[in-house]
Structure 1
Amino acid sequence: MYLCFDVGGTFVKYGVFDEQGQLQLESKRPTALNSKADFLADLVAIYHRLAQQYSLTGIGISFPGFIDSQKGQALLAGAIDILHGENIVALLGEAIGQPDLPIALGNDANCAAIAEQYAGSAQKITDFCLITLGTGIGGALVQNGEIYEGSHFRAGEFGMMVCDFTQEGYKTLHELASTSALVTRYRQAMGWSAEKKISGEEIMADTSEVAKEVKKTWSDYVAVTIFNMVAQFDPALVLLGGGISQNPALLPLVKDALARNPYWKDFQTEIDTCHFYNQSGLIGAYYLISKLERKQLQ
């Protein structure tokens, strides 16, 4: 059985999977960001507690940032800056007291893509692109059935693209096409302060003319993100993820925006939403560790 972690800047989600990939237990706890020692101590405590209930043979970890999955190192650890440059696999194995325990580490967006590839919306598809819409823009590329990480493990950083230089300068798609960008643009249109609470779900449900215009402008940037990916990589499928992807209004909105692009007719490919949402990191981490263990047994 496998213990899997999905590490985020707010929570560490964790779950136990059996060898058939069935989730036997799922929970979460706040991410310990005070120090490296505190962070590791939390994961170690979870491991030892669950090892008393389950026969754990490996650990899978979904983690933010630039991740060298071969070495188990976080070259840049995203919101978990206490672990920048650290070899998380080695640190955790030593902290648990089992340096030879199989541990697999992968970038969180890549883990989401792996989950979709094996059990979600991208099954039997060898070339696809995943774009997550959330606080920022995340992404992953699968080519010839394998995650493409890039020579510096930075592939899939779609949110860092600059696409509207003459109007927005060096603003990236994080600032223009994310769900956070939609919320910011809506607040500005309504004349609200930054403290006013509003969710993407509420904005999607607003049928006022102001909201329609805000969503139209925002969806144009989402469509640019998709078009640029398709023009570069020619995937068979583009999957949209993140919390807002669960809203049934998103896909028609984005497809309408793509249709406004006169070049889309020459590049268009299938667009769909992810099957998994909150559990995608855990499920992807499970497939990582199960694949690693099978490889080690060969």
Structure 2
Amino acid sequence: MFLCFDVGGTFVKYGRFDQTGKKIEKGKFKTCLQSKEAFIDSLVEQINKADRQSQNQLKGIGLSFPGFVNTETGEAILAGALTPLHGENIYELLKERLGKEYPMVIENDANCAALAENFGGKAAAVSDFALITLGTGIGGAIVVNNRILHGHTFRTGELGMMVTDYHQSAYKTLHELASTQALVTSYRKQKGMSASIEVLGETIVSELEDPLVKEVVQEWAQFVAITVFNTVVMLNPEKVLIGGGISQSHQVIEMIHEELKKNSHWVDFKVPVEACQFFNDSGLMGAYYLIKQKVEEETR
């Protein structure tokens, strides 16, 4: 039995898996951001519960985590919105609070999503691909020969940090131009809406029949296409996968294709660009594959 966590800035999702990958239980709880102790205590509570439920047969713990993480030591170098955990070693904090030791793995959330696709999703038939997630920012993961590229400081795949529109936008990054949050900001401006009004990317897509809304989405899709193109010419992957809630819209994927076709250079570099297969459970699935692999290697 394996227990996996997908840690987000608002919620922590968890799932208990058997050896075959079947999900026995899943749930979520509010992310405790008050302190590192409160956060760790919330994980420990679920780990102890899972061990009891599996009759002390819990074999390992996998964590999908935001920000930059050292997958070798367990350090959360920069933990995204989880500021109390910046620079903290998650393995050590958990070991201090748990009554027994478990094999553990930790990996960046976008990398976990890529692993899920590589092991059982849209990238199962390829060994080299890139994954781009569209959300509050732009997430990225690069897989070469079925392995995640981490870089010497575990920052590979920070595609959202690219500067692409200097003369119009100065040093604004693709986080500010191509993310779903960037689309929401442009939509609010077009509609004259207050920033306090909640708007979902899926809501915007449902209004594409409105010419003004379509224009906003089309301009945003240009920047997503630039993200895809720059990633492809740099890495020459076999495929690019688009993740994030908004990628579930066939219309959005088609608009990205339309913008790529406008680029005369695309014909020389063109690769399949598709939506991810796994959405909400991608972090959990990726963490599961990692911890299962680690346990199997240690027991050989």
TM-score of the pair, normalised by structure 2: 0.97
Letter in 1 for 2:144: Q
Structure 2 match to 1:197: 198
Question: Which one-letter code corresponds to 1:155 in the other structure?
Answer: T
1:2 alignment counterpart: 2
Alpha-carbon offset, residue 93 of structure 1: 2.0
2:2 counterpart letter in structure 1 = Y
- Note the alpha carbon deviations across 1:127-167, whole angstroms, 9 max, x for none: 00000001110010001110001111000111111110110
Task: Please state how far the C-alpha of 1:66 moved relative to its aligned partner.
Answer: 0.6
Q: Indicate the residue corresponding to 2:48 in structure 1.
A: 48
State the Cα distance separating 1:180 from its structure 2 match: 0.7
Q: Percent identity?
A: 50
C-alpha distance in structure 2 between counterparts of 1:179 and 1:168, whole Å: 18
Q: Aligned partner of 1:57: which letter?
A: K
In structure 2, the residue matched to 1:215 is: 217
Counterpart CA distance in 1 for 2:159 and 2:81 is 17
Q: Given residue 8 of structure 2, which amino acid in structure 1 is its aligned partner? A: G
What residue identity is the alignment partner of 1:151?
H
Give secondary structure in 2 for the equivalent of 1:79: coil
2-structure distance, mates of 1:199, 1:41? 32
Task: Report the count of equivalent residues.
Answer: 297
Q: Secondary structure at the match of 2:250?
A: coil
> What is the CA–CA distance in structure 2 between the aligned matches of 1:251 and 1:61, rounded to whole Å?
29
- Deviations for 1:102-147, whole angstroms, at most 9, x for unmatched residues? 0111110000000000011100210000000011100100011100
**Unaligned ranges ≥5, structure 1:** none
What is the DSSP-based 3-state SS (H/G/I as helix, E as strand, rest coil) of the residue aligned with 1:26?
Answer: strand
**Are positions 1:172 and 2:191 aligned together?**
no
Residue 125 of structure 2 corresponds to residue 109 of structure 1:
no
Q: What is the distance in 2 between the residues matched to 1:93 and 1:296? A: 19
> Equivalents in 1 of 2:48, 2:197: separation in Å?
43
Question: What's the counterpart of residue 290 of structure 2?
Answer: 288
Stretch deviating more after TM superposition (20-29 or 71-80): 71-80
Distance 2:28 2:129 in 1: 30
Moved more, 189-198 or 32-41: 189-198
Give the residue type in structure 1 aligned to 2:145. Answer: N
Normalised by the size of structure 1, how large is the TM-score?
0.98
AA paired with 2:114?
Answer: A
Query: Cα RMSD (Å) of the superposition?
Result: 0.9
Q: Distance in 1 between the 2:107 and 2:67 partners?
A: 9
- Aligned-partner SS, 1:238: strand
* Structure 1 position 197, deviation (Å): 2.9
Shift of residue 12 of structure 1?
A: 0.6
Cα deviation digits, residues 221-280 of structure 1 (max 9, x gap): 000000000010000000000000111211111000101111111111010110001100
TM-fit CA distance, 1:187 = 1.2
